[in-house]
Structure 1
């Protein structure tokens, strides 16, 4: 299972599933990360956290912990 935190910079992936439950999952989905959505990984901070992505034509920074909940293909 590949997650968003494992994707290389410059890669484009699609969301397969969002793991987690309750308010954490809802917060991730409220940011526009939904099943089938394409994501481009723009950059990763020098210490690996956060990860900057482009989704739905806007830029978003995600903590590595949250990115690990997003399964991609």
Structure 2
């Protein structure tokens, strides 16, 4: 399943990221924040508007907001 499909409050591990689906600068920023293969994450919050953007992700002690398109490029497994 992709990260954008992960239910709210559930934990997961990133299995793979389709870096080619992301703009190079965005991919670099996500990697710098630790959103790469093997990272343990959880969905903390989803946007309230039609597209449900952005998605707040908890990684370690940090919360990061990502676009739904970025989350769709990340394959995860629920823990």
Paired residue total: 72
Q: Pick the aligned partner of 1:67 from 59, 67, 71.
A: 71
For the residues of structure 1 that align with 2:18 and 2:57, how far apart are their CA atoms?
18
> TM-score, normalised to structure 2's length?
0.82
Structure 2 alignment gaps of length 5 or more: none
How much is the aligned-residue C-alpha RMSD, in angstroms?
Answer: 1.3
CA distance in 1 between partners of 2:4 and 2:32 (Å): 19
Please identify runs of 4+ aligned residues in structure 1 that moved more than 6 A.
none
TM normalised by structure 1 equals 0.88
Unaligned runs of 5+ in 1: none
- CA distance in 1: counterparts of 2:40 and 2:7, whole angstroms: 15
1:27-46 pair list within 5 angstroms: 27-46=29-48
